[in-house]
Structure 1
Amino acid sequence: MGYIRKPCSAAAVSSAVLVVRSPIAVSSASSAEFLAQGVRTSLRPVRRSDCAEVLALRRESAEMHRPWLVAQEATEEAFDAYVERFDEPEQEGFVICRRESGAIVGSVAIYDIVRGPFQSGVIVYAAYASTAGRGYLTEGVGLAVQHGFAVLGLCRLEARTGRRTPGHRGY
């Protein structure tokens, strides 16, 4: 587990490489509204219409995701239940998209959002096999962290990863 804390000064936030914007329409294959944009990726809320694309990505990435996501069914019903979770105020779900095409390259969610004096949450993410190792998730998760701090008003995010995740440098 790792913890990310919001920079204390406005100067630290404004000097960040990532730019957080209000929702804007971006012309892409899906004409989606994006919450934030990086150099190569954009962040937007996950929606039911993403079902076919996400399920196809999950299926092609099944071996890479074992054993972490094996328990989750890759069905339309399971995806609908997943998206429905984000109607709750303590959960936010996003997809990371390539800017030039709008294609989904990863997913990220902020769970267990606690308001009041803690203003914290847990961030989880998943890459997909066809685009893994290209830096899309690094940028996209950074956009989600910026969104968590700047838009959701969180002060602390806890990142949870699997201990044996390839590339994980934790314990």
Structure 2
Amino acid sequence: MTTGSVSPRRADTRRNNERILAAALESLAGGDELSYNAIARKAGVGVGTVYRHFPTPEALVLAVYRREVRHLVEAVPDLLAEHPPERAFRTWTSHLASYMMTKRGLADALSTATATADEDLAAGTYEALLGAVTTLLAACVEAGAVRPGLDPSTVLLSLGGLVHLDPTGDWQRQTANFTDLLWRGLHG
């Protein structure tokens, strides 16, 4: 069944799309050039399939970025189902830091790609991450782990400090220290 003029994609098309995005992320995160031939080889598809899904390098970079943001946001319900709210918040913060540290190549490619991208990209990312933080904070407030009345946008702004971690240094320890400090502020 279709909705409007959009028909659902076939399962193999979705799998190919996901493999292409994963291969592109691996290339970008490793600082490699964005080579459609190399991505096709890594994804196990023909180069024509890569071009069919992503006609320009900018389209591919933006799709990888949106996928990664979606994964960060979609992790929240699973974390809350598996862990107490405080642990879920800390784990998600660690995921966010890991994303920032290991995706430097994506960030470089993204800055080039966004020169031609729609202006809603940053706003959409902000809203998605704000929703994730809002959900985590609500669970923490309900559990009595943090004080009520916290502004999720202020907490998200605080998490932006993770971008200053040194990816070649001990960023995991720094993330734990940062999270402890932030947590004390949320609890107080």
Band of TM-score, shorter chain:
0.3 to 0.5
Q: What is the TM-score normalised by the length of structure 2?
A: 0.30
Larger relative contact order (Cα-Cα within 8 Å, sequence gap ≥ 6): 1
If the length of structure 1 is used for normalisation, what is the TM-score?
0.32
If you compute each CA radius of gyration, which structure gives the higher value, 1 or 2? Answer: 2
